[in-house]
Chain A
Amino acid sequence: MKNLKILLVDDEEKFISALADRLRLRGFIVTTELDGEYAIEKIETESFDVMVVDLLMPRMGGIELLKRIKYSGIDTPVILLTGHGSSKEGIQGMKLGAYDYLMKPIAFEELLDKLYKASSAN
């Protein structure tokens, strides 16, 4: 399998850097952004196989980012991360076009599984 390009968007820097390192160890090409505004700028210039986006972020949250991505016509699958402890926000995101969602703290193997599935679905 080719090395997947992943965009991780989350305001929790220590989380996203550790996650990115783990993915990189497994051969993923990972880019990280700390909020939705930066992510929008990034996806306008670069394409990704899968995006992993946190729901709650300052300035622009995950839902708003998802809407913007879909509005721009970008069909990169988006996996949402939610720290709310409930699936309500995740399901809402899927209705808006997200590929799937995961609840924090995430199970890494599950994330890998969803990344592969999302990339192959695209």
Chain B
Amino acid sequence: MNPFLKIADSVWFINDDVEGNRRYVRLKRIIALSVVTVSLVPMIIMAGINFHQYNSSLRNEIIKPLHDLTNKAARSFDRFFKERSSAISFISAMYSFEELSNPKLFNKLFMVLKSKFREHVDMGLINENGVMVNYTGPYDLINKDYSRQNWFPKVVYKGVFISDVFMGYRNLPHVAIAVLHIKDDGKTWIIRSTMDTDIFDEIIYNMGIDQQADAFLINKKGILQTSSRLYGKVLSRCGINIPQTRTGTHVEELTDFAGRKLMVAYTHLINSDCTLVVIKSKSIVLKTWFVLKTDMLVVFFVGICAIIVIVMGLTEKLVKRLKVSDKKRLLAVKELEHNQKLSSVGRLATGVAHEINNPLAVINQNAGLIMDMIEYNKFDREIFKEKINVINFSVERAKKITHRLLGFAKRIEVKFEVLRINEIVTEVLIFLDKEALYKNIEISLSLSDELPLISSDRGQLEQVFLNILINAFDAIGNNGHIYISTSIADESMVRVSIEDNGNGISKENLPHIFEPFFTTSTAKGTGLGLSITYGIIKKLGGDIKVNSTLGKGTCFEVNLPYEKLGEKDEKFKNSFG
């Protein structure tokens, strides 16, 4: 379809109310959805990116102190074990087995050790066969054979062994440190010392963790080596699975056996098989983040709501304004159509003036003649009657013309009624027959008697045919022929063909003749006649085609829909004609 005809469609086509309202609802939906999408998509993307960046940076901010604290405390434990084992190694290295076997000296060395490290409970010397040969402490362990205990081969193999926590004879948690000494001559002995684990609690206390946090040592089997706020006393099972294979300090989000979500920092000690675990409740650790996240979400959703509300409001306003401007446009189109109609009437003015002035002249002269006859005393009743009849006939003739003209000009509103298309064509021709006569234009009619009735608007159809016929008259000038025929085009359309043998339309101009304001330099009109004709026919559900050959003439074919009449309508049809 010619794009200009699309424009013509949009200019002249007038929707009915229901379709119009649907169009506005659709338009409102499209505008609102587009604007909301365009506004929200970047906002959501930006919010997502910000959320992710805040999340990672804030988590790092929160997690790092926990990581550092755990790491520092682990080093304290490592240093603790290192110092104790070094002290015992020193004793072992400084003295011979024989000297160490001396109870007095051994007791004195233990006292020196205890004065430095008060957590030591006892100290014993074990010979290479695993027998305790010297002992200083609260128990009687002399000659006790340790060779079958599982720690003995470990100390022989590793040189230093630090045991898991165990309950001693005093039913207090202890940990044992055993250090192997090998002399140059190959003689070996072991010094073993046990310590209270209260010192562990002190180290943990000195970490300075807050009251909601928990910190403890566990062994490889997950048994608590210190008491835990969350999981109970020493030697209880830890209520959370800590990965044992990784080295270094790690912070992870884990869930304990009670289902609590926890932020867990852990690190394996270098000088012991224990793992230091620091636990904080995730909700507490990430409280700042949660608050920030909530604030961000509130701002985000308030922003979305504001955007939606504003967009909906603006769209509503925009569509309302559009509605108003469409209404104005509609009125302007109607006005234009009416003006064009009046312009068509104006175009007929010469003929119409002639048609009115002639009866007036007849009246004028016949009245004058009657007056003359009276003045000249020539009273003839029959002549008087004849002249008065002529006057009355002329009055009727003028009245018909003015009524028809006014009726044509007045029909503004679209009013569908059942019509005979042939009647419309002949009615329009009445306006033009005198002009045709004087211009020597012959009008041939071939009107089919078999045409169905159509439901259409009389005034607008008159305008359509008048516009086409005026164009034909203009194209012919003087001395020409116009052929008008009506027929059934197909099962739904009746056709009116108006063909003239005027000067025709060039190929270049032909695609543009229905465009608004298109006019050729030789044309007399405003360029709206055929455009309005096109709009009216489309509005009436029909279509219009034009064929033209320059120098030979033009043929307009107007197809108009007819509806198959029902029984009820048949009655109407019968009464109609």
CB of A83 within 8 A of CB of B365, answer: no
Chain B residue nearest to A86 (CB atoms) is B353
B344 CB within 8 Å of chain A: no
> Hey, which chain A residues are within 8 Å of B376, CB to CB?
25
CB of B362 within 8 A of CB of A14, answer: yes
B63 CB within 8 Å of chain A: no
B320 CB within 8 Å of chain A: no
In the complex, which residues 62-118 of chain A have their Cβ closer than 8 Å to any Cβ of chain B?
81, 83-86, 103-106, 108
> Hey, which chain B residues are within 8 Å of A81, CB to CB?
361
CB of B366 within 8 A of CB of A18, answer: yes
Docked complex Cα distance between A108 and B370 (Å): 13
Q: How distant is B407 from chain A, measured CB to nearest CB, in Å?
A: 21
B521 CB within 8 Å of chain A: no
Chain B residue nearest to A12 (CB atoms) is B358
Docked complex Cα distance between A104 and B354 (Å): 8
> Hey, which chain A residues are within 8 Å of B440, CB to CB?
58-59
CB of B438 within 8 A of CB of A58, answer: yes
Docked complex Cα distance between A105 and B358 (Å): 7
CB of B387 within 8 A of CB of A18, answer: yes
In the complex, which residues 1-49 of chain A have their Cβ closer than 8 Å to any Cβ of chain B?
12, 14-15, 18-19, 21-22, 25
What is the total number of residues of chain B having a CB less than 8 Å from a CB of chain A?
A: 27
Docked complex Cα distance between A86 and B350 (Å): 9
- Among B349, B369, B387, the most chain A Cβ lie within 10 Å of the Cβ of B369
Q: When A58-B438, A59-B440 are in contact, do A15 and B357 touch as well, CB less than 8 Å?
A: no
B372 CB within 8 Å of chain A: yes
Q: How distant is A27 from chain B, measured CB to nearest CB, in Å?
A: 11
Query: B438's contact among A19, A57, A103, A108, by CB below 8 Å, is which?
Result: A57
CB of B361 within 8 A of CB of A12, answer: yes
> Hey, which chain B residues are within 8 Å of A21, CB to CB?
369, 372
> Hey, which chain A residues are within 8 Å of B368, CB to CB?
18, 22, 108
> Hey, which chain A residues are within 8 Å of B369, CB to CB?
18, 21-22
Chain B residue nearest to A21 (CB atoms) is B369
Q: How distant is A117 from chain B, measured CB to nearest CB, in Å?
A: 20
What is the total number of residues of chain A having a CB less than 8 Å from a CB of chain B?
A: 23
Q: How distant is B220 from chain A, measured CB to nearest CB, in Å?
A: 122
Docked complex Cα distance between A59 and B362 (Å): 21
CB of A105 within 8 A of CB of B390, answer: no
Q: When A14-B366, A25-B376 are in contact, do A83 and B394 touch as well, CB less than 8 Å?
A: no
> Hey, which chain B residues are within 8 Å of A104, CB to CB?
357-358, 360-361
CB of B394 within 8 A of CB of A14, answer: yes
B492 CB within 8 Å of chain A: no
Q: How distant is A67 from chain B, measured CB to nearest CB, in Å?
A: 14
B274 CB within 8 Å of chain A: no
CB of A85 within 8 A of CB of B361, answer: no
Q: How distant is B217 from chain A, measured CB to nearest CB, in Å?
A: 121
> Hey, which chain A residues are within 8 Å of B393, CB to CB?
14
CB of B358 within 8 A of CB of A58, answer: no
Docked complex Cα distance between A104 and B362 (Å): 9
Chain A residue nearest to B435 (CB atoms) is A56
> Hey, which chain B residues are within 8 Å of A108, CB to CB?
364-365, 368
CB of B365 within 8 A of CB of A58, answer: no
CB of A83 within 8 A of CB of B437, answer: no
Chain A residue nearest to B376 (CB atoms) is A25
Docked complex Cα distance between A108 and B438 (Å): 26
CB of A105 within 8 A of CB of B372, answer: no
Q: How distant is B372 from chain A, measured CB to nearest CB, in Å?
A: 5
Docked complex Cα distance between A108 and B368 (Å): 8
> Hey, which chain A residues are within 8 Å of B365, CB to CB?
15, 18-19, 22, 105-106, 108
In the complex, which residues 499-531 of chain B have their Cβ closer than 8 Å to any Cβ of chain A?
none
Docked complex Cα distance between A81 and B362 (Å): 13
Chain A residue nearest to B363 (CB atoms) is A105
- Among B349, B366, B394, the most chain A Cβ lie within 10 Å of the Cβ of B366
CB of A83 within 8 A of CB of B353, answer: yes
CB of B437 within 8 A of CB of A105, answer: no
> Hey, which chain A residues are within 8 Å of B360, CB to CB?
104-105
Q: How distant is B373 from chain A, measured CB to nearest CB, in Å?
A: 8
Partner-A contacts on B (CB < 8 A): 349-350, 353-354, 357-358, 360-366, 368-369, 372-373, 376, 378, 387, 390, 393-394, 434, 437-438, 440
Pairs across A and B, CB under 8 Å, 16 listed: A12-B358, A14-B393, A15-B358, A19-B365, A22-B369, A25-B372, A25-B378, A58-B437, A59-B440, A81-B361, A83-B361, A84-B353, A85-B354, A104-B360, A105-B357, A106-B365
Partner-B contacts on A (CB < 8 A): 12, 14-15, 18-19, 21-22, 25, 56-59, 61, 81, 83-86, 103-106, 108
19 more A-B residue pairs beyond the given contacts A14-B366, A104-B361, A108-B365, with a C-beta to C-beta distance below 8 A: A12-B358, A15-B361, A18-B365, A18-B387, A19-B365, A21-B369, A25-B372, A56-B354, A56-B438, A83-B354, A83-B361, A84-B353, A85-B353, A85-B354, A104-B357, A104-B360, A105-B364, A106-B365, A108-B364
